[in-house]
Structure 1
Amino acid sequence: MAQQHASKKKTAAEELTQVCSVRLGDTLYGIPIRHILEIVGGARTQQVPLAPEFVGGLLHYRGDVLTTVSLRRVLDMPLNLATQDLLVIEHPAGCFGLLVDRVMEVRTVSSADFEPNPSTVSKQRNGLFAGAYKLDGGLMVMLNPGCLEPMRQAMACE
């Protein structure tokens, strides 16, 4: 009986995921914490003339030059002139920065509260989102960090 109870606890623990929640306008988005190397508050990027629209600029980061992706520009939202926060995302092709309005908190979410993308999401946007978690008082839209990677974004723009 004790072994069966321990097995149920293990299954419940395996269904939990830690997610960094970020705000962009009125919408709450999430990125699995395992993809995030660092959070930089009040990041100041250097604009790049003639760069693709999604590029939020360049940033000197730990001795390297980091390309940043503006989540607002990727989602066709108006630019935010206020200071933005930056998530340094680890990707097999290399690290990149993701500019968001504000980093909120790390949340632990359950797979029981997860809903896949609705069929109404366009094919072009479907890869950006992994679905959404139902939270008390709203939803948290999950981002797919691999689809936000700068080279992947550049290919999507062609």
Structure 2
Amino acid sequence: MAEVMEKDPLELDDAGYETEDTQKDKFLTFFLANEDYGIAIQHVIEIIGIQKITEVPDMPTFVKGVINLRGKVIPVMDVRARFGLPGQEYDERTCIIVVNVDDQSTGLIVDRVCEVADIPSENVEPAPGSGKGQVDSYIMGLGKVGDRVKILLDARRLLAI
């Protein structure tokens, strides 16, 4: 009698070799207005310090403008402004997280970057509705890490204008 073997959580790469999804359940965490947030690491390209932002007219107030990143023009969004939080002067800890969603790169200005956290799906709870509308739509869930809770953001919804 043949045994049925369960398949490991491996995927096939472009060459047909099995690979493990090493980015699954990993989130880049950052601090914003006294709260911990996270965004799926699969969207993160790099983290850079704050730099000169060129303002562009007729943009939403949360889009601060564009930066020139190694010859590529990238729009930059202030996540505080996106959430309707009070502004804060940028300092040496302020960072721009460059993310790529649907082949579009965007910079996200955050107060400071914390770490890459492993948050398995069984430690993610659905976000309770606050009734505040739009901000809720950016939240993918609430990740439990030890005794802390990280607000996990849906990058696609966050970047939709």
Shorter-chain TM-score range: 0.7 to 0.9
Correspondent of 1:92 among 87, 102, 113: 102
Q: CA deviation at 1:137?
A: 2.9
CA separation in 2, counterparts of 1:137 and 1:41?
A: 30
Q: CA deviation at 1:44?
A: 3.5
Matched-pair identity in %: 27
CA separation in 1, counterparts of 2:111 and 2:39?
A: 14
Q: TM-score, normalised by structure 2?
A: 0.78
SS in 1 for 2:50: strand
Once the two structures are superposed, the pairs formed by residues 111-126 of structure 1 within 5 Å of their partners are: 111-126=121-136
User: Is 51-60 or 138-147 further displaced after alignment?
Assistant: 51-60
Higher radius of gyration, 1 or 2: 2
Aligned to 2:42: 34
Aligned to 1:131: 141
Q: CA deviation at 1:50?
A: 4.5
Correspondent of 2:112 among 85, 89, 102: 102
Amino acid in the other structure paired with 1:146: R
Structure 2 residues without counterparts, runs of 5 or longer: 10-19
Q: CA deviation at 1:75?
A: 0.7
Number of aligned residues: 146
Q: Could you list the per-position Cα deviations for residues 42-94 of structure 1 after superposition, in whole angstroms to 9, with x for gaps in the alignment? A: 33323334431111221111201110111000111111112320111111151
Correspondent of 2:87 among 56, 79, 82: 79
Task: Report whether the alignment pairs 1:44 with 2:29.
Answer: no
Aligned to 1:156: none
Amino acid in the other structure paired with 1:104: C
Q: TM-score, normalised by structure 1?
A: 0.80
Contact 2:96 / 2:108 at 8 angstroms: preserved in 1?
Answer: yes
Task: Report whether the alignment pairs 1:68 with 2:45.
Answer: no
CA separation in 1, counterparts of 2:51 and 2:106?
A: 13
Contact 1:69 / 1:148 at 8 angstroms: preserved in 2?
Answer: no
Structure 1 residues without counterparts, runs of 5 or longer: 154-158
Amino acid in the other structure paired with 2:100: E
Q: Larger helix proportion, structure 1 or 2? A: 1
